[in-house]
Structure 1
């Protein structure tokens, strides 16, 4: 039975927690002070002993663990991929610990959580999707705190939606037109060079993630792959599938480039989505021309011939390509005490942005690739596998991508290109501030001529 004790003008109650000290063997008691009268203190103690009997009791000393300590232990115990762990640690450091770090795990109330949720989602630097990700991480921590017997229940309600309904705002996207894609490629040709021209067309025609394109090595690109694949078993299987009398050119997605522990590293693709992507004939020819034009280990070297992942690609490459850029101008500098008027080391002409992509994300090229595949009526399993996704349930278990499905994708992409090329006309010439390492204009004229002769 609990027993109340008079302490000054207030009452304290003590109760048996049902636990025994592992070293001394003595019973462990818990207590709470601050009651105005003996009866209230006694009833509080009875409630706690009821919790002990029904296995609901959380000792005050257990729930007193600070969130900053619990978060650190929780993050050390998660078993996720490198990028996900980095993201979790970032969200905890920037948003969870600053708000809850000095609060005991057992003292976080549902009302306090709801107030924080409202404030977090209202921040201008936290988008709706990112905000939900932060809240989801916090919810997992609270669920685990319950299992660790630091709380009776999570302050995050999983039962029903609270508050007013807010419709999810979807990103505004336009249908991906191959003419717009080619205009982006032409802008990349001016700014970056032939590698940029092929990069844009490759992303639109394969749906590869940017980090996968950064890490694409020579041995995994046509015409070298699959013969150059260092994995003997994979090489033999791929030669059998993609070689033969009617070969199909393909890219092997083997790696992505990411920073790990401040070192640029080759890591498995997101979700371990290693896959083979057949490419249309025109793109296979461009990739072969590109590889013959340089000796870099990367299919798409940067402007300085290094790995693209070392550049801030979005701002240094994609934004000028999509948004346009004014011509390089002379600027004044002081050298050895003398004023000089100089021009950029890479003087560039002006070019217009592409309206459909001005201010938009590079990832929309990946989204647009799926639109093309869906529009052409390809099977769901072939489309999702090509995008690096897994189909859930029975459909994913029993479905399989066949060579016929891959050939259909290859042909539909080629047909889309052939439907566009004649619109360029016989007089199309690539625009570039410096001489190209390949005869892109001659290659394009050959494409147009071949299509006209076929008609």
Structure 2
């Protein structure tokens, strides 16, 4: 063995040579810990390689052979275990890893995942996943995994390309949205009533006039809904006592109070069990509602004894069934008439809503944002109502005052009155100028 420089050694073994360098670390017995690389046929090349590694060690840039040889399979387990996020984020990350990232990279060491391997993985995703959003989400997770591998000292740089500018510019595709006048909401609401009763009718108008997310509506229970709330006075913890006292003075039944819904939680599945979780982005909020919607909710809750404000056909939570397939698609896309002597449960035709055919339920929430903009509501009112947190001075100093809420309720109620005037004679409940008589949901199907 020939010592060529301090802490860098080169030695020949047969027809090739090996270089050793000090990693800057010590063994438990106090001896320096060296690493090595072999297979060189030129001693100068081996020496320069060792000097480069020693330089990296001195400047904190070195990835040891021990760390770099960590298998992706093990690193992915460690990475998932380190996360402290909402359960939906964890669930989505775990899906991306276990369905795509782990099967593709599990046999590789962390340091072996290079830019060519990542490009091959992108080609795999193009074949395996049909939706751009799904592919982007998987690549986002892989990017975070490799970024954290750099921070953990398992590699020097991430192989996941960011904001690549080479090649022809391609405009990012966006979902084409059409105007959703409330005549469309009226048709959707009447279809929803055909599918799962008066509960469906009120469900659709509630989403359209509050902008609540589907999971928040599925998980809405009567104690957080008008007319029970805030008289139910659910003081979840001592820190909220003052807020509840203020809510009792501002919201509820009576001419001096504003009818409102409290968005306190949503329902989602975790480990095959339906559970309550905070709303997305911890966006707890109070949503004032116009008097027509308050009347609908009052009648709906008086007509059933379920804890869920919007029960399914058999009275259970809407989140327990495949809502999109079993309820929403018939509401938006329509269903043919089912009749005849051999049909056990005949039903009339449910007409399709052409502008919503194949579209997502979430667009009804988006329509509420457009409505608030049309009504020229202040930006802080709009963002707060949609469950978004505003940044900067406007978010810090703005406040949702009683006059702002009263103005919003008046604008929403007037808009409803305008709909009734426009649709008068059209056959819908809105056209007839009343929320509609309550009736218990009937029929079969999943609850």
Within a 5 Å distance, the mapping from 1:32-431 to structure 2 comes to: 32-117=37-122, 119-120=124-125, 122-123=126-127, 125-158=129-162, 161-231=165-235, 233-242=242-251, 245-329=255-339, 342-344=342-344, 346-425=345-424, 428=427
Gap change, CA 1:424 and 1:393, over 3 Å in 2: closer
**Partner residue in 2 for 1:7:** 13
Deviations 1:383-402 (A, max 9, x none): 00000010012221111111
Deviations 1:406-437 (A, max 9, x none): 1222122111211111344368476xxxxxxx
Deviations 1:30-57 (A, max 9, x none): 1112222222222212222222222221
Gap change, CA 1:307 and 1:47, over 3 Å in 2: same
CA contact (8 A) 1:426 1:445 kept: no
**Is 2:27 aligned against 1:21?**
yes
Gap change, CA 1:17 and 1:425, over 3 Å in 2: closer
With normalisation by structure 2, the TM-score equals 0.89
Deviations 1:307-360 (A, max 9, x none): 111011111100000000012256xxxxxxxxxx8423x421112110111100
1:95 shift after superposition: 1.8
Gap change, CA 1:157 and 1:429, over 3 Å in 2: closer
**Partner residue in 2 for 1:452:** none
CA contact (8 A) 1:191 1:348 kept: no
Tell me how far apart the structure 2 counterparts of residues 202 and 444 of structure 1 sit (CA, whole Å).
12
1:300 shift after superposition: 0.4
Tell me how far apart the structure 2 counterparts of residues 154 and 260 of structure 1 sit (CA, whole Å).
32
1:213 shift after superposition: 0.5
SS at match of 1:356: helix
1:99 shift after superposition: 1.9
Gap change, CA 1:16 and 1:417, over 3 Å in 2: same
Tell me how far apart the structure 1 counterparts of residues 248 and 302 of structure 2 sit (CA, whole Å).
22
Tell me how far apart the structure 2 counterparts of residues 405 and 76 of structure 1 sit (CA, whole Å).
45
Which has the larger displacement, 404-413 or 375-384? Answer: 404-413
Gap change, CA 1:75 and 1:162, over 3 Å in 2: farther
Deviations 1:109-156 (A, max 9, x none): 233324433553x34625333322222222222222122111122223
Tell me how far apart the structure 2 counterparts of residues 190 and 361 of structure 1 sit (CA, whole Å).
19
Gap change, CA 1:445 and 1:423, over 3 Å in 2: farther
CA contact (8 A) 1:188 1:200 kept: yes
Structure 2 alignment gaps of length 5 or more: 236-240, 438-447
1:444 shift after superposition: 5.5
Tell me how far apart the structure 2 counterparts of residues 98 and 429 of structure 1 sit (CA, whole Å).
53
Tell me how far apart the structure 1 counterparts of residues 314 and 435 of structure 2 sit (CA, whole Å).
27
Cα RMSD (Å): 2.4
CA contact (8 A) 2:330 2:350 kept: no
Deviations 1:169-209 (A, max 9, x none): 11111111110100011111112111111111110010000
CA contact (8 A) 1:15 1:48 kept: yes
CA contact (8 A) 1:10 1:33 kept: yes
Tell me how far apart the structure 1 counterparts of residues 326 and 320 of structure 2 sit (CA, whole Å).
11
CA contact (8 A) 2:424 2:432 kept: no
The size of the alignment, in residue pairs, is 425
With normalisation by structure 1, the TM-score equals 0.87
Structure 1 alignment gaps of length 5 or more: 331-340, 431-439, 447-455
Gap change, CA 1:50 and 1:427, over 3 Å in 2: closer
Tell me how far apart the structure 1 counterparts of residues 265 and 188 of structure 2 sit (CA, whole Å).
25
SS at match of 2:268: strand
